[in-house]
Amino acid sequence: MKAELLAPAGSVETMKAAFFAGADAVYIGGGRFGARAYADNPDDGDLIGAIRYAHLHGKKLYLTVNTLLKEDELEKDLTRWLVPFYEEGLDAVIVQDPGVLRLMRSNFPDLPVHASTQMAMTGVCSAEKLEALGAARLVLPRELSLREIQKIHSACGLELEAFIHGALCYCYSGQCLFSSIAGGRSGNRGRCAQPCRLPYSVCREDESHPWGKAGYLLSPKDLNTLSLLPELLDAGVYSLKIEGRMKKPEYTAGVVSIYRKYLDRILENPGANPVVSEDDERTLLGLFNRKGFTDGYYRRHNGREMITLEAPDPRPEAEECISRMHDAYCGKIQKENGKGFVRIESGKPAIIEMECRGEKVRVQGDEAQEAQARPLSEEDIRRSLEKTKDAAFDWEKLEIATDGHSFLPVSRLNALRREAFETMENALCGLYKRQYTAGDRPAATVRQPDIPEGLPPVSVCCETREQLEECLHSSWISTIYLDSHIGTPGEAAVLAGRVVQSGKHCGYILPRMVREADRECPEQDLKMLRDSGIRLFLCPNAEALLWAGKVFRDGNPKEAPLLAADHTLYTFSQSACEELKEWGADLLTAPVELNGRELSARGMRDTELIVYGYLPMMITAQCVLKTLRGCSKKPEKLLLKDRKGNLFPVRNYCRECYNLILNSLPLSLADVMPQVLALKPSGLRMVFSAEDREETRQVLDLFREALAHPESGAQLQKFTRGHFKRGVE
């Protein structure tokens, strides 16, 4: 059995402490493109040094390139920035953006790629696709169960990486827009402001008073899986990942040291389940916690016991614990043991032959002279060569041969020792080096849309039958998407018939998060929906897109419906667009975090633009209702209230068991319709979710007017333009 203990490193200092405490590898961000923009990330020169340091000590360093990249960043900056790290021997990159994944395959085909947890690859279909694309590793979503992990492991040959300790996000990673939309700081761009860690109150939509005082309802406890390590390894997890690139070196080293102890016991005695000592549990609590720990989703789908509810308070032993870890692991010099042979003979150059981890080097110094007074003794030579206090090497064994009548100045012996160590360091690090060769990949060009002159077609998404009734009567709407929660698949099939009879195209929105249990529903349901007249399936996540492709296209592709990727399958660049098309997407949705100028640079070919809707802020396996009142096993409409009085609609979807938290204001681009139409999208989309029938009618009237008279500036009373004007950094 093999396993890797993977530690976070927000700085070079933290990396060194993690390695000294027993980490096999670290993941670290550079000056750009990492999901922790506010960590003490090393600059480019320090990052080169960090890669060398890792390789010198037989460790690995993975670089986080796990943000979404805009068109100009991807084409102009990323490759040039990566080349020095690639040539130094960078062990892998961690990526979120499909466009970055595509670029890696093209420009750095032998650089291992790890698919970030932010890609939200939740099942077998996504894992198989990643393997086919050449990815080396999948970083699993935190929400997956041990059973789901085992199924993925059995289905593919990817290395699997799972979180074992540290902070849990309330939302599926990569699917959170809360910080971005509410505060302008995008988690997808490494600048999350963590609004989930603030207090909120809750009530039903038809109630005026909140259920009790405000609490930390969106703030999960930290993960602690010491007792689960054997089960994680048995499920097929190879890399055991600690979260915390924003944490201090003492935290990282302390957590690593404890997990190292128990992991070694398990690896030395497979099948064992070591009992965790109270002292070690206290140490972990002292390093950091939010009202205790949780073992996460591995054994449960969600639960109140996973949420802090109250504000965390510092533990009394924290200061002592941090101090102890600092003394034990921080600022230490890590040593590699080498074997040496030294020969000093009069009239011949002094030599040192050194061996370390299978590598051998030989260095030659000045010629030794016949001693005029006291010759060098073996003890003299050993004393000089064993001055290794500040060096990266120690002598495990040092053999000395001398003729007994030679002399060499101590300064030259010291220089010879330093040269031997430097040569060995270069040899060890040189094993990882590569030479970058620029490929013949053509520069990307923005493709202009090939749609005819005039207004683009308009589609609407309907979650309720009231919304559907209003949309059916609007002749200017060309396509109606039925949300999967509008009814059972059989009921949706009946409604699809009505849409088709009205002369419109009918689409169907698959669940916003597809898990293994959702794929176990009969595939006949999807085929029944297709046969009812649905010709377009909107896929909000990778597993949904790839699963639908397998269902519809493995048989007779000529009869397959079209597949559309929703905005939560991110396409910030043309490269990402091309990648998702290769995954099976016929139609794309413009990212909601790009502004108008950036959308123009990306290009809008085969892309619908959302012009109205309450944007989803979070998609979460947790359930606000269950946390506060227990599971009712039925959908209810709740409101989440923040400290400023903003109200965020919450929907609990019981069939797939996930929550959707919507923005407090609807996105509306009605008053900027000239700029919208200038982009020439292939279609415009309106998304109805929290609206009643009257509100739906008002919105339809507004956009009918805006499309008929784009310069009118008509708009809702309360709305947001989202990022269409401002964008994100």
SS (H, E, C) 559-599: HCCEEEECCCCCCCCHHHHHHHHHCCCCEEECCCCCCHHHH
- What the block records as the tokens of 273 is 């389940």
Residue 635: pLDDT band by 50, 70, 90 thresholds?
Answer: confident
394-404 burial by CB neighbour count: b if 16+ within 10 A, else e? ebeebebebbe
C-beta of residue 375 within 8 angstroms of C-beta of residue 346: no
* C-alpha–C-alpha distance, residues 722 and 726, integer Å: 8
Q: Report which secondary-structure segment, H or E, holds 432.
A: none
Residue 527 has pLDDT above 90, yes or no: no
* C-alpha–C-alpha distance, residues 543 and 569, integer Å: 10
Three-state secondary-structure class, residue 668:
strand
Looking at residue 38, its pLDDT comes to 66
Residue 145 has pLDDT above 90, yes or no: yes
Looking at residue 558, its pLDDT comes to 63
User: Which domains does the chain carry?
Assistant: 4-168+221-329 (3.20.20.70), 336-430 (no CATH), 458-616+667-712 (3.20.20.70)
Looking at residue 447, its pLDDT comes to 41
* C-alpha–C-alpha distance, residues 31 and 14, integer Å: 16
pLDDT (average), residues 389-394:
95
Predicted confidence (pLDDT) per residue in 46-92, tens digit: 999 999 999 999 999 999 999 999 998 887 789 999 999 999 999 99
Q: Report which secondary-structure segment, H or E, holds 672.
A: none
> What is the dihedral sign for C-alpha 165, 169, 171, 174?
negative
* C-alpha–C-alpha distance, residues 109 and 101, integer Å: 10
Looking at residue 520, its pLDDT comes to 60
For 199-208, 283-292, 297-306, 307-316, which range has the lowest pLDDT when averaged over its residues? 307-316
Choose the most confident range, by mean pLDDT, from 283-287, 288-292, 452-456. 283-287
Residue 35 has pLDDT above 80, yes or no: no
Looking at residue 557, its pLDDT comes to 62
- Helix/strand number for the chain, H first, E second: 24, 32
Phi–psi pair at 513, nearest 5 degrees? -145, 110
Residue 555: pLDDT band by 50, 70, 90 thresholds?
Answer: low
pLDDT (average), residues 297-312:
94
177-188 burial by CB neighbour count: b if 16+ within 10 A, else e? bbbbbbeebbbb
Looking at residue 492, its pLDDT comes to 95
Q: What single DSSP character describes residue 540? A: S
Residue 519: pLDDT band by 50, 70, 90 thresholds?
Answer: low
Residue 579 has pLDDT above 80, yes or no: yes
Looking at residue 37, its pLDDT comes to 65
* C-alpha–C-alpha distance, residues 192 and 20, integer Å: 30
Residue 451: pLDDT band by 50, 70, 90 thresholds?
Answer: very low
Looking at residue 729, its pLDDT comes to 80
* C-alpha–C-alpha distance, residues 200 and 618, integer Å: 15
Residue 445 has pLDDT above 60, yes or no: no
pLDDT (average), residues 347-362:
96
Three-state secondary-structure class, residue 657:
coil
Does the predicted model carry a pTM greater than 0.75? Answer: yes
Average of per-residue pLDDT values in the chain? 93
Predicted confidence (pLDDT) per residue in 697-729, tens digit: 999 999 999 999 999 999 999 999 999 998 888
Residue 442: pLDDT band by 50, 70, 90 thresholds?
Answer: very low
C-beta of residue 663 within 8 angstroms of C-beta of residue 720: yes
Q: What single DSSP character describes residue 306? A: G
Residues 6+ apart with CB under 8 A from 387: 414, 417
* C-alpha–C-alpha distance, residues 590 and 586, integer Å: 13
506, burial (CB in 10 Å: exposed 0-12, middle 13-18, buried 19+): buried
Q: What is the dihedral of CA 294, 296, 302, 306, to 10 degrees?
A: 20
* C-alpha–C-alpha distance, residues 615 and 589, integer Å: 13
Residue 664 has pLDDT above 70, yes or no: yes
Of 612, 709, 705, residue with least CA distance to 662: 612
pLDDT (average), residues 353-359:
97
Residue 605 has pLDDT above 50, yes or no: yes
